[in-house]
């Protein structure tokens, strides 16, 4: 990724970010196609020689332009709702490249996904398994399913994005999964022949992956010894990215894949991966302008035109995002609390962050904003959803227009027609 913040001309994939912001306004999400492509290719290169499919976790960035780009590069989708199924199909991702995860798949969602002919359901509870069996039977079709194992492993990440501990709502214990397989013959319309595991997100150490995969591998060997064929193992997502230069040290994709392959030595079925953040996180920046500098009694505030509704991660998880001034790197440094205009104290991107001294109108970029940025945005405070663009080789393509006020209120109406339920 070309990110020349030290040059007076700040560019991303050879597109001048100042010109882009002037033309399209701020806040503006900008995604580097080159960076996404490089990540896909790094993972694909590490997987060469295996029967593997990368299914992008749509929740990380559900923009149809981004999903279409994934599809063009041979990447499928990991979905968690009917809405994500719809988006993935709209973006051209074929159903046989779609896996469905999540603890709360409704009967309607299961029906739709089955009707679409998706590759596989990652089943997270016995009730869901029975629902899948019932729906598949009524449709006269066979559902392919994997059990999501909760390996009770600490992902060593933020508690709110940790999913593989026994106390978490995700997946089932190996004991429970064992019972499912023992009763497999009762499932006339579910082909239970896969294992799935996803222990959390923003993982920066190989060890939790290693532990989880070793537990899954031991279970796979046990199942095969008992005569249960396992045709697919899904290693989930979770690969961390760099939010704070010099502080976060992401795992190399090749090392990660080697860890998975090592644990699963001898497995000759299909390997599935569900990376989200790894593919798009560092590819994205959120461009934002300084509305004003406010000198408080105790500190200086940099008030931006981006807010927690555009990028919720700092307020939700106290997440750090590097923030850079696009021009003006020779100015003296000042410490700021960097905040948005939303009426909440939590609308804070950074506290006591040192930046070149800023003035109203200055253009900043909030980095590593490509994952869980736009996809988690809201219109809180009636702020329109930000525009999104992809950049590549000196050109840009709009992938989301800035929302209008009319679009914000579409569907709302005055309470004029009172009816009885």
Which amino acids are annotated catalytic? 343
Closer residue to ligand LLP, CB minimum distance, 71 or 148: 148
Beta strands at 270-273 and 52-57: parallel, antiparallel or unpaired: parallel
Closer residue to ligand LLP, CB minimum distance, 120 or 289: 120
Closer residue to ligand LLP, CB minimum distance, 276 or 336: 276
Tokens 């991702």 -> residue? 93
Among 28, 57, 114, 364, binds ligand LLP (CB under 6 A): 57
Q: Which two tokens stand for residue 273?
A: 């991966």
**Residues binding ligand LLP: number (CB under 6 A):** 21
* Closest approach of ligand LLP to the CB of residue 275, in Å: 4
Measure the CA–CA gap between 313 and 5, rounded to whole angstroms: 23
Among 100, 121, 220, 372, binds ligand LLP (CB under 6 A): 372
Closer residue to ligand LLP, CB minimum distance, 199 or 399: 199
Q: In the beta sheet, which residues pair with residue 120?
A: 99
Closer residue to ligand LLP, CB minimum distance, 213 or 363: 213
Q: Does 370 bind ligand LLP (CB under 6 A)?
A: no
Measure the CA–CA gap between 173 and 286, rounded to whole angstroms: 40
Q: Does 383 bind ligand LLP (CB under 6 A)?
A: no
Among 201, 232, 348, 368, binds ligand LLP (CB under 6 A): 201
**DSSP per-residue codes, 272-328:** EE--SHHHHTTTEEEEEEEEEEEE-SS-EEEEES--TTT--HHHHH-----EEESS-
Which one of 46-54, 63-71, 181-189, 271-279 is the stretch in contact with ligand LLP (CB under 6 A)?
Answer: 271-279
Q: Does 84 bind ligand LLP (CB under 6 A)?
A: no
For the chain, helix (H) and strand (E) counts, in that order, are 12, 19
Measure the CA–CA gap between 289 and 28, rounded to whole angstroms: 10
Among 29, 31, 278, 396, binds ligand LLP (CB under 6 A): 278
Nearest Cα to Cα of residue 67 among 41, 43, 31: 31
* Closest approach of ligand LLP to the CB of residue 278, in Å: 6
Measure the CA–CA gap between 170 and 124, rounded to whole angstroms: 6
Judged by CB under 6 A, the chain residues 101 through 140 that form the site for ligand LLP are: 101
* Closest approach of ligand LLP to the CB of residue 73, in Å: 17
Among 164, 208, 236, 314, binds ligand LLP (CB under 6 A): 236
Q: Does 313 bind ligand LLP (CB under 6 A)?
A: yes
Q: Does 161 bind ligand LLP (CB under 6 A)?
A: yes
Q: Does 277 bind ligand LLP (CB under 6 A)?
A: yes
Among 13, 193, 211, 274, binds ligand LLP (CB under 6 A): 274
Q: Does 239 bind ligand LLP (CB under 6 A)?
A: yes
Beta strands at 120-123 and 98-100: parallel, antiparallel or unpaired: parallel
Alpha carbon distances (Å) from 301 to 9, 77, 337, 360, 408: 26, 41, 5, 12, 29
* Closest approach of ligand LLP to the CB of residue 282, in Å: 12
* Closest approach of ligand LLP to the CB of residue 138, in Å: 27
Q: Does 314 bind ligand LLP (CB under 6 A)?
A: no
Alpha carbon distances (Å) from 383 to 90, 288, 309, 341, 365: 27, 14, 8, 10, 19
Measure the CA–CA gap between 133 and 113, rounded to whole angstroms: 13
Nearest Cα to Cα of residue 386 among 416, 419, 411, 408: 408
Positions that interact with ligand LLP (CB under 6 A): 57, 60, 78, 101, 161, 198, 201-202, 236-239, 274-278, 313, 317, 371-372
């Amino acid at each position: 990724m070309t990110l020349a913040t030290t040059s007076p001309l700040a560019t991303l994939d050879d597109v001048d970010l100042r010109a882009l912001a002037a033309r399209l306004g701020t806040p503006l999400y900008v995604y580097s196609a080159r960076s996404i492509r490089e990540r896909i290719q790094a993972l694909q290169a590490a997987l060469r020689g295996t029967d593997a499919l990368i299914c992008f976790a749509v929740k990380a960035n559900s923009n149809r332009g981004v999903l279409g780009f994934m599809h063009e590069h041979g990447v499928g989708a990991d979905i968690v709702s009917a809405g994500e199924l719809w988006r993935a199909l709209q973006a051209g991702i074929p159903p046989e490249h779609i896996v469905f995860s999540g603890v709360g798949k409704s009967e309607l969602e299961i029906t739709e996904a089955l009707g679409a002919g998706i590759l596989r359901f990652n089943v997270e509870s016995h009730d869901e398994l029975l629902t899948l069996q019932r729906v598949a039977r009524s449709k006269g079709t066979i559902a392919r399913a994997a059990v999501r194992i909760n390996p009770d492993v600490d992902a060593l990440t933020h508690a709110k994005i940790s999913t593989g501990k026994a106390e978490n709502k995700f997946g089932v214990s190996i004991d429970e999964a064992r019972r499912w397989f023992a009763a497999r013959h009762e499932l006339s319309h579910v082909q239970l022949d896969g294992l799935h595991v996803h222990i959390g997100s923003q993982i920066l150490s190989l060890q939790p992956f290693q532990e989880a995969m070793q537990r899954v591998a031991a279970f796979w060997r046990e199942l095969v010894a008992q005569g249960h064929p396992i045709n697919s193992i899904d290693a989930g997502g979770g690969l961390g990215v760099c939010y704070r230069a010099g502080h976060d040290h992401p795992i190399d994709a090749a090392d990660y894949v080697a860890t998975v392959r090592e644990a699963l030595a001898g497995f000759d079925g299909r390997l599935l991966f569900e990376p989200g953040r790894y593919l798009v996180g560092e590819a994205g920046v959120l461009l934002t302008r300084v509305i004003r500098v406010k000198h408080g009694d105790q500190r200086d505030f940099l008030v931006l035109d981006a807010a927690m509704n555009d990028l919720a991660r700092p307020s939700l998880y106290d997440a750090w995002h590097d923030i850079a001034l696009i021009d003006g790197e020779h100015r003296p440094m000042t410490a700021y609390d960097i905040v948005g205009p939303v009426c909440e104290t939590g609308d804070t991107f950074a506290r006591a962050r040192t930046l070149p001294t800023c003035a109203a109108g200055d253009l900043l970029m909030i980095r590593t904003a490509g994952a869980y940025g736009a996809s988690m945005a809201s219109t809180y405070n009636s702020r329109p959803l930000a525009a999104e663009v992809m950049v590549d080789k000196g050109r840009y393509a709009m992938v989301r227009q800035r929302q209008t006020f009319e679009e914000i209120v579409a569907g709302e109406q005055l309470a004029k027609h009172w009816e009885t339920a």
